[in-house]
Chain A
Amino acid sequence: MADIVIKGHRGIGDKVTGTALVAQDNFSARYDLDRIKGVFSRPAHKLCGQNYVGKILILDAAKGGVATSWMLREMAERDMAPAALLLNDANPIMAQGAAFAGLPFMDRFEEDVTVAVRDGETVTVDPAAGTLTVRRTD
């Protein structure tokens, strides 16, 4: 077992550890999610059908419209949010939504985070330090 530390830009929110849900796809709360059931619902999304609640969600880029900035807090207050959101490329909407929701959030990693982290791995996100630590078991 070894810890792999990946540097990113300083993020938003508190340090958190959880299970990674990873895909090489993009993210929009309005376009991609059934927020009531807590699953990805957009048919073309690589995580379609998968539950994201409590997971460290790791995807490529922010997509879609502005609604996510209201939605992340609403999801968090119903305990139906991911534990953290990590993207290769954020946009303002995701940063605004994370700040509003108090959701741990980071982007701009030194490598493609959707490749560096495997689905199901345990990871620790430390936004203030700008680090992502992956607990690798092999």
Chain B
Amino acid sequence: MKLTDIERAMQAGEMGPARQWAIEQQIAVGEFFDADDLVEINQVHMMADTESLGDSGVEFLEQFATLPWEERRCLVPTVTDPRGIDLESYKSLNQEEFFAERERRAIAAFKSLGVMMTDTCINYQIIMPPVMGEHLAFGDTGSVIYTNSALGARSNFEGGPAALAAALTGRAPRYGFHLDECRRGTRLFDVSFQPKTLSDWGALGGVVGRRLESYWEVPVLSGVGGMPNSDELKHFGAALASYGSVALYHIAGITPEAPDVETVFDGPLPAAEPITADNVADFYKSFGVHDDKVDVVVFAAPQLSLVETQLLARAIEGKQVHQDTSLIATLPPAVKADADRMGYTAMIEAAGGTVLQGVCFYQMYARETGEANGWKRLLSNSAKLVNIIQGYGYEPVLASMETCVDAAVKGKMG
């Protein structure tokens, strides 16, 4: 890889061991993907939940925290993805003190590097929305796919250590979605289904995602009617990235790089693969129903925007969650503060729901938390969550927010 003078200085250790470690990681990954060089980036979004970090990751961060400020500080604005524990609520969720202590250590280490603890996966909605063409190192798949697709900015999936490396060098290896040629369509889907709810948008993302083979595929959708809002594209992209592990999509006539289908393909168009209402209905059916009992109803993955929080608060206002069912909503701290101020938190809590901040359900020790609270039969309007959470011992079902709230009140579906 071609390196600039400053990059060679980092590699030689002249800017300290943290930046040397960081650029060596980036060179290893860059060479693996045949990158020619590194590209300067404007912002980093880092996955920093302690369940993923483990003690090993926390100890790794703590090594850097002891370095001089000039050697350890992030070189570009760096924000965090959801954390592993809501330190205000973990006791009521029967989460162990051990996890909270690990969390406090991780937070201290991140802060010592100058990381801003935003604790959100919807940074693109609420912190500093990316700009078209801007190079970034974002670290949640939903955040990356929204940024690439809905906003036209440029990032690969940068997992925790890679995002940390990007924060320490201010750069990312230039391969994948930083390059024009990787942003061209590879598959064409003709959609004859019009999503009506957030879970419909997620289900559509899941249907497309299940048909994709690898990270390098770029699905292009045609036939999508209406103009989706940010929350709808958020659920669509989060599910598409979760099921398909892809980082970019185009929707003809809607997303900025695809004024029409022809613009995003090189050469003749591939045969269009139909996506029908039956495909989406089958997707919902693949998770079954919980018509006997629901243990926990979850609104998360992605965290709720203020608009979703208002929808949930209004849907549940004046109702009461069943005594044998829990209802959880996970919000970014910035949205939680607004929801508190506007009374939405109080509306959800008055109905018996729990509002958590700075966490997301699957990132908060979901297996241990589920076992501690007797949660197995899970209901959510997040297509992403019902995909991930199966590996943690849950039996998840997908339904609209309206159906989820109804089931939380009755303690079962139907």
Count class of interface residues, chain A: 35 or more
- Cα A34 to Cα B367 in complex, Å, equals 10
A30-B52 contact given A70-B57, A89-B213, CB 8 Å threshold: yes
Task: List the B side residues contacting A11 at CB < 8 Å.
Answer: 32
Q: Is the CB of A96 within 8 A of B391?
A: no
CB-nearest residue of chain B to A74: B54
Question: Which residues of chain B in 276-333 are interfacial with respect to chain A, using CB atoms and an 8 Å cutoff?
Answer: none
Q: Is the CB of A100 within 8 A of B25?
A: yes
Question: Which residues of chain A in 85-115 are interfacial with respect to chain B, using CB atoms and an 8 Å cutoff?
Answer: 89-93, 95-97, 99-100
Interface string of A69-87 (1 = CB under 8 A from B): 1110110011000000000
Task: List the A side residues contacting B387 at CB < 8 Å.
Answer: 31
- Cα A123 to Cα B349 in complex, Å, equals 57
Pick from B54, B245, B363, B388: contact of A71, CB under 8 Å? B54
Pick from A31, A70, A95, A100: contact of B391, CB under 8 Å? A31
Interface string of A1-30 (1 = CB under 8 A from B): 000000001111000000000000010101
Interface size on B, residues (CB 8 A): 42
A43-B390 contact given A62-B245, A96-B162, CB 8 Å threshold: yes
Q: Chain A's nearest CB lies how many Å from the CB of B178?
A: 11
Q: Is the CB of A69 within 8 A of B162?
A: yes
Task: List the A side residues contacting B140 at CB < 8 Å.
Answer: 65-66
Task: List the A side residues contacting B51 at CB < 8 Å.
Answer: 67
- Cα A64 to Cα B140 in complex, Å, equals 11
Q: Is the CB of A42 within 8 A of B390?
A: yes
- Cα A65 to Cα B387 in complex, Å, equals 11
- Cα A68 to Cα B390 in complex, Å, equals 16
A73-B391 contact given A66-B158, A92-B156, CB 8 Å threshold: no
CB-nearest residue of chain B to A9: B32
CB-nearest residue of chain A to B30: A95
Q: Is the CB of A66 within 8 A of B47?
A: yes
Task: List the B side residues contacting A91 at CB < 8 Å.
Answer: 157, 214-215, 245
A67-B52 contact given A30-B388, A43-B390, A100-B161, CB 8 Å threshold: yes
Q: Is the CB of B390 within 8 A of A96?
A: no
Is the CB of B370 closer than 8 A to any CB of chain A?
no
Point out which of A11, A61, A100 has the most chain B C-beta atoms below 10 A from its C-beta: A100
- Cα A42 to Cα B136 in complex, Å, equals 32
Q: Is the CB of B56 within 8 A of A69?
A: no
A77-B214 contact given A66-B157, A69-B159, A99-B29, CB 8 Å threshold: no
Q: Is the CB of A66 within 8 A of B32?
A: no
- Cα A64 to Cα B241 in complex, Å, equals 7
Is the CB of B242 closer than 8 A to any CB of chain A?
yes
Point out which of A12, A71, A99 has the most chain B C-beta atoms below 10 A from its C-beta: A99
Is the CB of B358 closer than 8 A to any CB of chain A?
no
Q: Is the CB of B52 within 8 A of A96?
A: no
Pick from B25, B28, B47, B176: contact of A67, CB under 8 Å? B47
Is the CB of B141 closer than 8 A to any CB of chain A?
yes
Question: Which residues of chain B in 353-393 are interfacial with respect to chain A, using CB atoms and an 8 Å cutoff?
Answer: 362-363, 367, 387-388, 390-391, 393
CB-nearest residue of chain B to A77: B56
Q: Is the CB of B215 within 8 A of A32?
A: no
CB-nearest residue of chain B to A107: B32
Task: List the B side residues contacting A71 at CB < 8 Å.
Answer: 52, 54
Task: List the A side residues contacting B262 at CB < 8 Å.
Answer: none
Q: Chain B's nearest CB lies how many Å from the CB of A121?
A: 25
Task: List the B side residues contacting A10 at CB < 8 Å.
Answer: 31-32
Interface string of B258-290 (1 = CB under 8 A from A): 000000000000000000000000000000000
Is the CB of B139 closer than 8 A to any CB of chain A?
yes
Point out which of A41, A61, A69 has the most chain B C-beta atoms below 10 A from its C-beta: A69
A97-B54 contact given A65-B141, A89-B213, A92-B215, CB 8 Å threshold: no
- Cα A123 to Cα B167 in complex, Å, equals 38
Point out which of B29, B57, B162, B391 has the most chain A C-beta atoms below 10 A from its C-beta: B391
Is the CB of B252 closer than 8 A to any CB of chain A?
no
Task: List the A side residues contacting B69 at CB < 8 Å.
Answer: none
Question: Which residues of chain B in 20-61 are interfacial with respect to chain A, using CB atoms and an 8 Å cutoff?
Answer: 25, 28-29, 31-33, 47, 49, 51-57, 60
Known: A66-B139, A66-B157. 14 other contacts (CB 8 A): A10-B31, A34-B391, A42-B391, A66-B160, A67-B47, A67-B363, A69-B159, A73-B57, A89-B214, A91-B214, A95-B29, A95-B32, A96-B162, A99-B29
Interface set of A (CB-CB < 8 Å, partner B): 9-12, 26, 28, 30-34, 41-44, 61-71, 73-74, 77-78, 89-93, 95-97, 99-100
A-B contact pairs, 14 of them (CB 8 A): A26-B245, A31-B387, A31-B391, A65-B141, A65-B241, A65-B388, A70-B47, A70-B52, A70-B159, A70-B161, A74-B55, A91-B245, A92-B158, A92-B215
Interface set of B (CB-CB < 8 Å, partner A): 25, 28-29, 31-33, 47, 49, 51-57, 60, 139-141, 156-162, 176, 213-216, 241-242, 245, 362-363, 367, 387-388, 390-391, 393
